[in-house]
C-alpha cells in the first residue's frame, strides 16, 4: 500500500473508533472520551447555544471540528455548499438550513461509520436537501465548477496530499465561489509530536504551518487567501488532546508544555476568481 493509502486507512480507523466507541481518540481541543465531553467540544469550537439546540443531539455529540466555518460565511438561500470531511453531519445540517429547500448541502467523507451516522442525523433533522457522498477529499466525487461554497472543519490537516485537496477545492468551486475552512495549523511543532502516528489522527502531527497552507491555496489558483481568526491552544488543552491518544503521564505533560502556543485552529478564507 502507498503512504497515502496507509494514512487514509489509519485516519478512517481513528474516526470509526471515535464515532462508535466512547473514549475513541480524535481531533479536538479536549479528550473526545465520553459523550458529555464531546458536546462541550462543539461549544468550544464556536457554535452558539441556539444553533446547537436546533440540531439532533447525536450530530452535536459526534462533532469533531475545531471551529465553526459557516459562522464566517455569507451562505444564502438557493446556494450549493460542499463540506469536505462532513463527519457526523453538524456543519452539513447547519448549511442545509441556511441554503433552504432551493439550495443543497453536499458532504464528502471516506469513513463508512461516519457516513452512516450523518445519514441518521440528517433523517432526524428531517432535511431533504442534503446529499452525502463517499469519497476522498483528494479526488472529490463532485462536478467541476458546481459549488458556491466549500467548507471544511478540521479535516485537511489529516490529508496526506494537501496540494491535491487545494487543487480539488479550486476545481469544484464556481467562478466567484468561496471557501471557509476551520483547521489546525502548527508552527515549529516539536519533532517528537510531528513523528507521532497517534497524534496524526488527533489533527496535530499532520498539520502544516499557516504559511504553507496559504501558499498551497494560492498555488492552486485561489485568490483572497487569508487567515481571519485564530484560537491558540494552551498547554492544558494540548495535554488533554495528547492524553486522549497517548495516555496522561508526565511525558505527555512535558510534550504539551513544549507545544503550547505552537498549535492553533484557524479560519482560512479563499475565493475562486
Ligand atoms: C476531525 S473529523 C471532522 C468531522 C466534521 N467535519 C466535524 O466537524 O465534526 C474528520 C473527518 O474527516 C474525514 N476524513 C479525513 N480525511 C479524509 C479524506 N482524506 N477524505 C475524506 N474524508 C476524510 C474523517 O472520516 C472524519 O469523518
Ligand 1 lined by 118 (C-beta under 6 Å): no
Q: 250 CA to middle of ligand 1, Å? A: 30
The answer for residues whose C-beta is within 8 angstroms of residue 30's C-beta and 6 or more apart is: 37, 40, 41, 44, 237, 240, 241, 244
Ligand 1 lined by 111 (C-beta under 6 Å): yes
> In this structure, which residue's CA is closest to atom 20 in ligand 1?
136
The pLDDT value recorded for residue 242 is: 81
All three cell numbers of 217: 491555496
Ligand 1 lined by 65 (C-beta under 6 Å): yes
Angstrom distance (rounded) from CA 210 to CA 203: 15
The pLDDT value recorded for residue 106 is: 98
Q: 146 CA to middle of ligand 1, Å? A: 21
All three cell numbers of 38: 464531546
> Contact 184/28 with Cβ under 8 angstroms?
no
Ligand 1 lined by 136 (C-beta under 6 Å): yes
Ligand 1 lined by 110 (C-beta under 6 Å): yes
The pLDDT value recorded for residue 246 is: 79
Q: 57 CA to middle of ligand 1, Å? A: 19
The pLDDT value recorded for residue 122 is: 98
Give the residue among 47, 23, 44, 26 at the shortest CA–CA distance from 35: 23
pLDDT in tens, the chain (273 residues): 688 999 999 999 999 999 998 655 567 544 444 444 454 445 557 898 888 889 999 999 999 999 999 999 999 999 999 999 999 999 999 999 999 999 999 999 999 999 999 999 999 999 999 999 999 999 999 999 999 999 999 999 999 999 999 999 999 999 999 999 999 999 999 898 898 888 898 899 999 999 999 999 999 999 999 999 999 999 988 888 787 777 778 888 888 899 999 999 999 999 999
Question: Could you tell me where the DSSP H helices lie in 126-195?
Answer: 162-172, 191-194
Pocket probe mutation, ligand 1, options 109, 137, 267, max atoms within 8 Å of Cβ: 109
Stated pTM of the model: 0.94
All three cell numbers of 205: 502531527
Give the residue among 85, 105, 66 at the shortest CA–CA distance from 15: 85
The pLDDT value recorded for residue 254 is: 87
Question: Could you tell me where the DSSP H helices lie in the chain?
Answer: 3-20, 35-44, 49-53, 57-61, 90-99, 112-125, 162-172, 191-194, 197-201, 210-219, 235-246, 250-259
Q: 86 CA to middle of ligand 1, Å? A: 6
Domains in the chain (CATH in brackets) are: 3-271 (3.40.50.150)
Amino acid at each position: 500500500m502507498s503512504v497515502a493509502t496507509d494514512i487514509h486507512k489509519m485516519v478512517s480507523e481513528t474516526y470509526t473508533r471515535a464515532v462508535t466507541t466512547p473514549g475513541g481518540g480524535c481531533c479536538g481541543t479536549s479528550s473526545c472520551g465520553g459523550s458529555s465531553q464531546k458536546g462541550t467540544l462543539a461549544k468550544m469550537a464556536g457554535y452558539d447555544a441556539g444553533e446547537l439546540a436546533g440540531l439532533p443531539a447525536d450530530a452535536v455529540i459526534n462533532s469533531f471540528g475545531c471551529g465553526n466555518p459557516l459562522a464566517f460565511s455569507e451562505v444564502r438561500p438557493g446556494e450549493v455548499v460542499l463540506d469536505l470531511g462532513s463527519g457526523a453531519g453538524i456543519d452539513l445540517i447547519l448549511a442545509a438550513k441556511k441554503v433552504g429547500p432551493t439550495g443543497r448541502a453536499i458532504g464528502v467523507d471516506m469513513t463508512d461509520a461516519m457516513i452512516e451516522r450523518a445519514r441518521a442525523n440528517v433523517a432526524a433533522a428531517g432535511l431533504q436537501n442534503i446529499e452525502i457522498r463517499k469519497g476522498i477529499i483528494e479526488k472529490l466525487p463532485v462536478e467541476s465548477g458546481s459549488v458556491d461554497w466549500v467548507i471544511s472543519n478540521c479535516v485537511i490537516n489529516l490529508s496526506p496530499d494537501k496540494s491535491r485537496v487545494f487543487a480539488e477545492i479550486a476545481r469544484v468551486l464556481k467562478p466567484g465561489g468561496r471557501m471557509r475552512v476551520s483547521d489546525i495549523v502548527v508552527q515549529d511543532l516539536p519533532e517528537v509530536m510531528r513523528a507521532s502516528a497517534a497524534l496524526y489522527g488527533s489533527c496535530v502531527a499532520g498539520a502544516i504551518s499557516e504559511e504553507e497552507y496559504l501558499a498551497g491555496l494560492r498555488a492552486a489558483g485561489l485568490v483572497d487567501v487569508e487567515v481571519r481568526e485564530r484560537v491558540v491552544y494552551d498547554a492544558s488543552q494540548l495535554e488533554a488532546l495528547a492524553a486522549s491518544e497517548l495516555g496522561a503521564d508526565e511525558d505527555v505533560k512535558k510534550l504539551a508544555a513544549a507545544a503550547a502556543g505552537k498549535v492553533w485552529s484557524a479560519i482560512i478564507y479563499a475565493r475562486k476568481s
